[in-house]
Amino acid sequence: MIKRTRAVTLCVLLALTCLTTPAFATGPVSWTVEPPRGRIDPVPGTPASASPLSVEELPARALESEVDTVRAEFGTPGVAVDLRGQRPDGRWTEWVEAVPGAPTVLPSATRSVQARLVLTGPVGTAVGPIGLTAWRAGTEVTDPTLAATYRVFATREGLVGGTTANGHKIVQRDHFVALPSRRGLAGKGQGNYSVKVCTADHARCEWAPVWDVGPWNIKDDYWSVERLSWGELPRGLPQAQAAYQHGHNGGRDQFGRKVANPAGIDLADGTFWDGLKLKDNAWVDVTYQWTGGGPWGTVTSLDSLNVRTGPHSGERQVGLAARHAQIRIECAAAGQPVTGTEGTTDRWHRLAHGMYVSGAYVRLAQPPPAC
């Protein structure tokens, strides 16, 4: 988990001047987003010696036609704006940081655009309206169906009582993960960016939401096809691992700290101890669920949902699916009837070979085929 710094209030007027006039294939359409509170604050309880990272999602805008490029006009020092679009199946693209006044190409064409505020520096929290202009530039984007999976080193986050980058207060045996880039950071109480993390032998897995940013770096989207930072490194290799194993960047992270382990993911205590049954930091296989396609649903159980070897509650437990996690579903099979948050059903969803969860605790967004 990264450290953050308390912000000092400073009001900076917003400039809404268009810097360039791009060529539009279709569009454009313009609108203004007003931050509900007119400000963004550091996460509660942030120590004064830390670096800030706090996010606030703004209302999404539904559009009449598809767009793939957005220009954001804003000008508050220490506050960034991220943009994303919603795909036809309900999935969201990764967040992309906007450069004020410059076109931002979204990972996929969309009819729904959302912005969020990100507090990134120890300066003002007062934020004015954000001007957005979207259009279809005809950018060629290939939307992959197979999610990326990489073996990375996992460390335990701990920090019970602290607050994550998305504002979640960490509790005992919590279930979430941290990745070293906010491109895949889910909102508080959301799981639209979730991972499947498995032990190296795949004996146990947990599906968990991404609720924090770290370890080591905060701009290392190593799972991306075209990573925004450390582009000289191959896809799937965390910068911290490259620094630790190969001396990349002089063996230091983006803040100049000497990298003491090759971690590419942090696991909350419950994910670490209960989901994967780890006793020490270890190499794990991580699938970044939002980078692929296919049937999916959201876990709505009040606690983590048991993952079992077959479609029956008497089968052996081999992992967990955290509450709020978005899960990819291979297929559905008939099994033991169960009553849960989604009613009573005998449908069980296969998430991987020999790994099933009851459909009574999964709100389907895209129904799976029969097994």
Residuewise pLDDT in 10s, the chain (371 residues):
433 332 322 222 233 333 344 455 566 999 999 887 766 766 665 443 344 578 889 999 999 999 999 999 988 778 899 999 999 888 899 999 999 999 999 998 999 999 999 887 665 567 888 999 999 998 766 666 789 999 999 999 999 999 999 999 999 999 999 999 999 999 999 999 999 999 999 999 999 999 999 999 999 999 998 898 999 999 999 999 999 999 999 999 999 999 999 999 999 999 999 999 999 999 999 999 999 989 999 999 999 999 999 999 999 999 999 999 999 999 999 999 999 999 999 999 999 999 999 999 999 999 999 99
DSSP state, 145?
Answer: S
- Is residue 114 within 8 A of residue 61, CB to CB? The reply is yes
329 phi and psi, to 5 degrees? -120, 125
Helix, strand, coil proportions of the chain in percent (round to 5)?
A: 10, 40, 50
Beta strand pairing call for 205-213 and 177-179? parallel
Structural domains present in the chain:
26-136 (2.60.120), 149-291 (2.40.40.10), 296-366 (2.30.30)
What are the structure tokens assigned to 153, written together? 């080193």
Strand 61-73 and strand 26-33: the pairing is unpaired
Residues 6+ positions from 88 with CB-CB distance below 8 Å: none
Q: Are 110 and 68 in contact (CB under 8 A)?
A: yes
Rg (CA), the chain: 21
